[in-house]
Amino acid sequence: MALSAAQGKGRKPAGLLRLVALAAALCAVLPSAATSQDVERSAYHAAESAHNAALSARDLANDLVADALDEAIEARQSGDQARYERALAIYQDLGRQLEQSNRDLATAAGRLDQARRSYLLSVLDELGELFEELPQAPDARARDLIGRRIDVLTNEADQLERPIEIDDDPFPEINIEPGDTRDEIRAKADLLDGQVARYGLVLDDIDAQIELLEQRERHARMVRDFGADLSRFGDLRVLVGRLDANSDNAEDLIGGEELSQRLEELQQSREFVIERRNIAMARAEEFRRRIGGEETA
């Protein structure tokens, strides 16, 4: 749709400069804000690697503590006091290592969340600007340039999403058994505390993904509205591969329905994780009440 003379005079030079920058960016296969986004991307990947390493170390420490607790229980049941004392000492040492691993993981998770948010904000902020500039594009070529950049940024946002793995029954064996000593019950309470911490990290991840999807839903509505405007004015030259102005369901073509479904699934997962976290928390508190209120054989 051609611009009127008045519209042409009213157009800000910044808009034209941005289109030129977009063209240069596409030719170079790099974003126009390459320096800042590359730094944020590198920081995110570095934080992700550090978090994965901390997670593996914590999982190993948790397994070792669980094995040490089993050994202590077996030693006590065998009646071998010397073996029991050795096993208990090993458990206590590994328990301290697990506490440190949990602290290290929490620190790494916080840094990863900060890096992810910074990276996401830069991507989503630019996407928002592009969607706002889309209706102001002077012709189909300009819209094509903007559309291709939107595709690049949308793919980057997709890469930041990852499946959230939730264990359906993360603590089936952590129960007080007849004959458990105070130290053994305390050890089981510590293991439940570890489960609570794990669920806290999962909730942080779910909340971050919900925030991302809600912003992308807003972008989907902006594209849908733009498609409706094009249809109304009879301009069928639209975003390449993203939107068909002839479609009565443009939002579906850009993932609107899929985004809504994923948001619903994340909300359900969030409720499940909160329920499991509360169960683990309540069990840990009950275990400590038991050893605080009575002697155990």
pLDDT at 293: 53
Please give the pLDDT value at position 129. 81
Query: What local confidence, expressed as pLDDT, does residue 284 receive?
Result: 92
Looking up tokens 């974003």 gives 31
How many Å apart are CA 225 and CA 227, to the nearest integer?
5
State whether the Cα torsion 109-111-115-121 is positive or negative.
positive
The pLDDT value recorded for residue 281 is 92
What pLDDT was estimated at residue 225? 65
Amino acid (1-letter code) at residue 197:
A
Residue spans of the chain under pLDDT 70: 1-35, 160-173, 222-257, 293-297
pLDDT score recorded for residue 20: 43
pTM of model > 0.75? no
Q: What angle do CA 73, 74, 80 make, to 5 degrees?
A: 105
Q: What pLDDT is attached to residue 8?
A: 41
